[in-house]
């Protein structure tokens, strides 16, 4: 007689069958993102901003291979792991000066980039000339905010440097020592929310859904048809725009009225969670009209704040 598995048992079986956590590959993350953004920018109403984002990702790709590999106190990591906490918490980690060096190199790359309005170059030069204390204050503010900042034009550039820093740190962890988060909406490495989720299309991960961190690019498994914000499974539905790519959908939850994008690699193997989220704002607008709210913002889209 077939055995009926409960929800928790299904999760346990899946976790044993596949890696529950996938750490980022610094040599691939930004290169793939830059290529994807450049391709999306050629035929999109938001082509101008996507082109800027592609230049930002190329700058990240250039600097991620820097010989100045960031480091963090091994004792701090061990303590966090012992208490099943994110070992590289975005809100609380003592950042090394390497991230500011990364930021200034990213800003210099943007300052030299061609084909952008003068405002982009002025903004990049302003960031490159800022003092250490000012940059640390901006970073602290952005890592603690929820998609709003007093300087939304500069925010994506600062976040881009922080992404390079955290991706490099995350790649050096021992994935076997990491613990899955109790809350779905928390990255097991840095504690930040996911930007979206991806359904894999190659063995042995074919058909499995992973959440993708918007800061350190770590991915962690989450069963499908389950709200990635509140964990509920009732009233969860998928939405897409008729005539658009079947790879892009949004998963809504009637319980908490939130949603996150979910991307299907079987329909488009080049999908990048952050890039394709930027390029599918039309879906966000439709869901907002239906009274759903984003569970967490895209780290490269900021609104003016106080």
In a domain, 7, yes or no: no
One domain, residues 156 and 44: yes
* Cα–Cα distance measured from residue 50 to residue 63, given in angstroms and rounded to the nearest whole number: 20
Residue 6 falls inside a structural domain: no
pLDDT band at 102 (very low <50, low <70, confident <90, very high): very high
The CA R_g of the chain, rounded to the nearest whole Å, is 19
pTM above 0.85, yes or no: yes
* Interatomic CA distance for residues 246 and 167, integer angstroms: 29
What pLDDT was estimated at residue 8?
52
Residue 2 is assigned to a structural domain of this protein: no
State which residues form the domain around 95.
Answer: 25-175
Residue 50 falls inside a structural domain:
yes
Question: Which of the four pLDDT bands, split at 50, 70 and 90, describes residue 210?
Answer: very high
Q: Is the pLDDT of residue 13 over 50?
A: no
Same domain, 39 and 150: yes
β-strands 148-149, 194-199 pairing: unpaired
The total of structural domains in the chain comes to: 2
Strands (E), the chain: 21-22, 148-149, 194-199, 209-213, 219-221, 236-239, 248-253, 258-264, 293-294, 303-304
The answer to whether the beta carbons of residues 303 and 288 sit under 8 Å apart is no
pLDDT digits (tens, 9 = 90+) for 267-281: 999 999 999 999 999
Same domain, 190 and 120: no
Q: Are residues 40 and 139 in the same domain?
A: yes
Name which of 72, 86, 74 is nearest 188 in CA terms: 86
Residue 69 and residue 157 share a domain: yes
**What CATH number is given to the structural domain containing 131?**
3.90.1670.10
* DSSP secondary structure code for residue 175 in this structure: G
Q: Has residue 96 been placed in a domain?
A: yes
The answer to whether residues 278 and 155 belong to one domain is: no
* Residue 18 within any structural domain of the chain: no
- Assigned token pair, 60: 């990240």
Q: Are residues 103 and 164 in the same domain?
A: yes
What is the distance between the alpha carbons of residues 41 and 271, in angstroms, rounded to a whole number? 14
Cα distances from 74 to residues 68, 80, 81, 96, in angstroms, run 17, 10, 11, 14
Which residue, of 152, 175, 198, is where some domain finishes?
175
Query: Same domain for 155 and 74?
Result: yes
Q: Is residue 8 part of a domain?
A: no
13 part of a folded domain: no
Q: Tell me, yes or no, whether 196 and 139 share the same domain.
A: no
Residue 9 has pLDDT above 60, yes or no: no
Same domain, yes or no, for 29 and 130? Answer: yes
Overall average pLDDT of the 73-93 stretch: 91
């Amino acid at each position: 007689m077939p055995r009926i598995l409960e929800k928790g048992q299904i999760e346990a079986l899946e976790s044993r069958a596949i890696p529950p956590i996938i750490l980022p590959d610094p040599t691939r993350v930004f290169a793939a993102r830059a290529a994807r953004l450049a391709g999306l920018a050629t035929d999109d109403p938001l082509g101008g901003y996507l082109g800027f984002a592609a230049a930002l990702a190329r700058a990240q790709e250039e600097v991620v291979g820097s010989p100045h590999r960031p480091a963090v106190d091994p004792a701090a990591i061990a303590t966090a792991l012992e208490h099943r906490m994110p070992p590289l918490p975005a809100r609380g980690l003592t950042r090394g000066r390497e991230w500011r060096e990364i930021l200034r190199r990213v800003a210099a790359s943007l300052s030299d980039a061609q084909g952008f309005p003068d405002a982009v170059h002025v903004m990049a030069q302003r960031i490159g000339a800022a003092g250490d204390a000012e940059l640390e204050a901006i970073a602290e503010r952005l890592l603690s905010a929820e998609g709003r900042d007093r300087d939304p034009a500069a925010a994506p550039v600062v976040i881009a440097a922080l992404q390079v820093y955290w991706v490099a740190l995350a790649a050096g962890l021992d994935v076997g020592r990491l613990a899955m988060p109790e809350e779905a909406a928390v990255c097991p490495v840095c504690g930040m929310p996911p930007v979206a989720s991806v359904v894999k299309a190659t063995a042995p991960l074919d058909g499995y859904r992973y959440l993708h961190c918007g800061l350190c690019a770590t991915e962690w498994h989450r069963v499908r048809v389950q709200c990635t914000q509140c964990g509920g499974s009732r009233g969860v539905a998928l939405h897409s725009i008729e005539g658009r790519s079947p790879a892009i959908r949004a998963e809504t939850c009637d319980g908490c009225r939130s949603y996150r994008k979910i991307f299907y690699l079987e329909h488009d193997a080049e999908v990048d969670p952050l890039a394709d989220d930027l390029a599918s704002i039309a879906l966000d607008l439709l869901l907002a009209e239906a009274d759903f709210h984003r569970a967490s913002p895209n780290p490269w889209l900021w609104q003016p704040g106080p």
